[in-house]
Amino acid sequence: MSLSNKTLINEIDSLLLLEFDLQRLLIKGGVRLVGEINVSGAKNAALPLFFATLLTPGKFEITNIPRLRDIQTTVDLLKQLGAEVDYTDHSVNISTDDLKSHEAPYDLVRTMRASVLALGPLLARCGKARVSLPGGCAIGARPINLHLEGMKKLGVKISLENGYVEAAVDSLKGDTVHFSLPTVTGTENIMMLATKAEGTTIIENAAKEPEIIELQNFLNQMGAKISGAGTSKITIQGGDKLKPTKYKVMPDRIEAGTFMIAAAATGGDLIIKNAVYEHLTALITKLEECGVKIEKIKGDGLRVRAYEPLKPVNISTGPFPDFPTDCQAQMMALLTKAKGTSTIVENIFENRFMHVQELQRMGANIELRGNTALIHGNGGLTGAPVMATDLRASASLIIAGLIANGVTEVNRIYHLDRGYEKIEEKLKNVGANIDRVN
Ligand code: EPZ
């Protein structure tokens, strides 16, 4: 690409970011959330399924896809690899008959780390892959060493050159991959790669998130033979021919959890349709400890009611089924209202307290001691201009705005649009006083 084109793209890029940057949310606090709210399809389940379509030629249809920037980024990356993708409304049709590239470039990968999920499928399909190292993000260094060590175990040759992972393999051989940490996308990458390995691959200390089960279901519908997803040991019988399939993505458990916390924080009475109880047990346990009433409703869905002062709790994040790190920031906003001191220990990411200083600007009394936050609940947040720093911190600031006295202005909400579909409309429909303004 000539320099002038690159400059032009960078100009457009920065104008777009400026446009996104100018958007912000205005929230007037003090309203209870009451009514019914819908949960969209799960972003972190959809993303690996999109990359899994690279494993074999053919036409795939995936439905219940949320309208999110991360999904659009993945669509753009698949197109750049040569797939034909039609992303209309909440469905996507993907045809991966002719791939024309095996490279995931930096300018796409830097906007979405999950692009690292292109590695496994490209290696399985083409025998080679060139994927930019994702680099860190606001919440941490986000290394991918475990992904790469697992791939080497199956016979992949890997070198790191100019910020890219250069990977190639002649023949994939099944083996045992033991993860020292249960990595979600690392588990997903090895599952996809191992479908084409000769013989059996076993993943030990695998991540147990519901999104891993979704990927197993999708791959098995494609003809793979995988078992054990949801447990710490996953077995993949490799080598079989795979075929395209159709799939409907499960509801987003983190979006559901975010709405549960918002309902509890505002003392509301909210029905969260299609929320799956079994995906949220650690969060439900902690909210009930706070004094929140949570019950299953017929079919899938939960009813969340909070009509007494919230009690303080102690939370420690961990891999599924422990308390999800992706709901930590949202829970911290709620705990500013509890009568007493709560603690949150963040065990997954080394820098996932960026929302603390923003909550402090709103009057929250929070002390940080390493990876532990002490939240001295004083119930006295006041509206202020604040800045979103990452996806879940944005949700935390919205919840804080809902319970603060006065108006809160949340800036840099392009972070929010990566993972929440029309959140301000959904919240407005259940009583929130919230508007998106340019
Ligand atoms: C997934 O990220 C999610 N993203 C994250 O959601 C989520 O916060 C995270 O899992 C933890 O639940 C997607 O699924 C697309 P990890 P992932 O590998 O896979 C360390 C959101 O908000 N690690 O499970 O990148 C790592 O540093 C996002 O939607 C290594 O050291 O997370 C972290 O401390 C944010 N080496 C821990 O493991 C590796 O090779 C867990 O990370 C890989 C990970």
Question: pLDDT tens digits, residue range 44-72?
Answer: 999 999 999 999 999 999 999 999 999 99
Structure tokens at 114: 């999950």
Closest ligand 1 atom, residue 137 Cα: 35
Per-residue pLDDT at 15 exceeds 90: no
How long a stretch of residues is the chain? 438
Q: 393-408: buried (b, 16+ CB within 10 Å) or exposed (e) per residue?
A: bbbbbbbbbbbbeeeb
Query: Does 145 contact ligand 1 (Cβ within 6 A)?
Result: yes
Closest ligand 1 atom, residue 319 Cα: 12
User: What would the mean pLDDT of 189-214 be, rounded to a whole number?
Assistant: 98
**Atom 9 (ligand 1) nearest CA:** 184
Per-residue pLDDT at 121 exceeds 90: yes
Query: Does 96 contact ligand 1 (Cβ within 6 A)?
Result: no
Query: Does 350 contact ligand 1 (Cβ within 6 A)?
Result: no
Question: Alpha-carbon dihedral of residues 317, 321, 327, 333, nearest 10 degrees?
Answer: -60
**Atom 43 (ligand 1) nearest CA:** 144
Query: Does 238 contact ligand 1 (Cβ within 6 A)?
Result: no
Distance, in Å, from the CA atom of 78 to the CA atom of 95, rounded to the nearest integer, reads 10
Q: How far is the CA of 395 from the centre of ligand 1 (A)?
A: 18
Query: Does 284 contact ligand 1 (Cβ within 6 A)?
Result: no
Average pLDDT value over all residues in the chain = 94
pLDDT reported for residue 94 = 98
Three-state SS letters, the chain: CCHHHHHHHHHHHHHHHHHHHHCEEEEECCCCCEEEEECCECHHHHHHHHHHHHHCCCEEEEECCCCCHHHHHHHHHHHHHCCEEEEECCEEEEECCCCCCCEECHHHHCCCHHHHHHHHHHHHHHCEEEEECCCCECCECCCCHHHHHHHHHCCCEEEEECCEEEEECCCCECCEEECCCCCHHHHHHHHHHHCCCECEEEEECCCCCHHHHHHHHHHHHCCCEEECECECEEEEECCCCCCCCEEECCECHHHHHHHHHHHHHCCCEEEEECCCHHHCHHHHHHHHHCCCEEEECCCCEEEEECCCCCCCCEEEECCCCCECHHHHHHHHHHHCCCCCEEEEECCCCCCCCHHHHHHHHCCCEEEEECCEEEEECCCCCECCEEECCCHHHHHHHHHHHHHCECEEEEECCCCHHHCCCCHHHHHHCCCCEEEEEC
Q: How far is the CA of 144 from the centre of ligand 1 (A)?
A: 9
Distance, in Å, from the CA atom of 337 to the CA atom of 328, rounded to the nearest integer, reads 15
Question: pLDDT tens digits, residue range 288-338?
Answer: 999 999 999 987 799 999 988 999 999 999 999 999 999 999 999 999 999
Q: How confident is the model at residue 284 (pLDDT cuts 50, 70, 90)?
A: very high
Question: pLDDT tens digits, residue range 383-423?
Answer: 999 999 999 999 999 999 999 999 999 999 999 999 999 99
* Residue with token string 């099944």: 174
* Residue with token string 């308390």: 323
Three-state SS letters, 139-152: CECCCCHHHHHHHH
Question: pLDDT tens digits, residue range 229-242?
Answer: 999 999 999 987 99
Q: How confident is the model at residue 20 (pLDDT cuts 50, 70, 90)?
A: low
Contacts of 369 (CB under 8 A, 6+ apart): none
Q: How far is the CA of 194 from the centre of ligand 1 (A)?
A: 20
Q: How confident is the model at residue 134 (pLDDT cuts 50, 70, 90)?
A: confident
Q: Ligand 1, from 40, 44, 350: best to mutate by most atoms within 8 Å of Cβ?
A: 44
pLDDT reported for residue 142 = 87
Q: Ligand 1, from 73, 112, 142, 330: best to mutate by most atoms within 8 Å of Cβ?
A: 142
Strand order in the sheet with 341-345: 314-316, 341-345, 372-376, 365-369
Q: Tell which residue, 34, 222, 53, has the closest CA to residue 122.
A: 53
Question: pLDDT tens digits, residue range 145-161?
Answer: 999 999 999 999 999 99
Per-residue pLDDT at 140 exceeds 90: no
pLDDT reported for residue 378 = 81
Q: How far is the CA of 245 from the centre of ligand 1 (A)?
A: 27
Do the beta carbons of residue 85 and residue 75 sit within 8 Å? yes
pLDDT reported for residue 3 = 57
pLDDT reported for residue 265 = 97
Distance, in Å, from the CA atom of 192 to the CA atom of 374, rounded to the nearest integer, reads 41
Catalytic machinery residues: 137
Q: How confident is the model at residue 43 (pLDDT cuts 50, 70, 90)?
A: very high
Q: Ligand 1, from 183, 249, 417: best to mutate by most atoms within 8 Å of Cβ?
A: 183
pLDDT reported for residue 8 = 63
pLDDT reported for residue 12 = 61
Question: pLDDT tens digits, residue range 158-193?
Answer: 999 999 999 999 999 999 999 999 999 999 999 999
* Residue with token string 């795939």: 60
Per-residue pLDDT at 7 exceeds 80: no
pLDDT reported for residue 240 = 76
pTM given for the model: 0.95
Distance, in Å, from the CA atom of 384 to the CA atom of 333, rounded to the nearest integer, reads 14
pLDDT reported for residue 13 = 56
* Residue with token string 């993972």: 419
pLDDT reported for residue 132 = 94
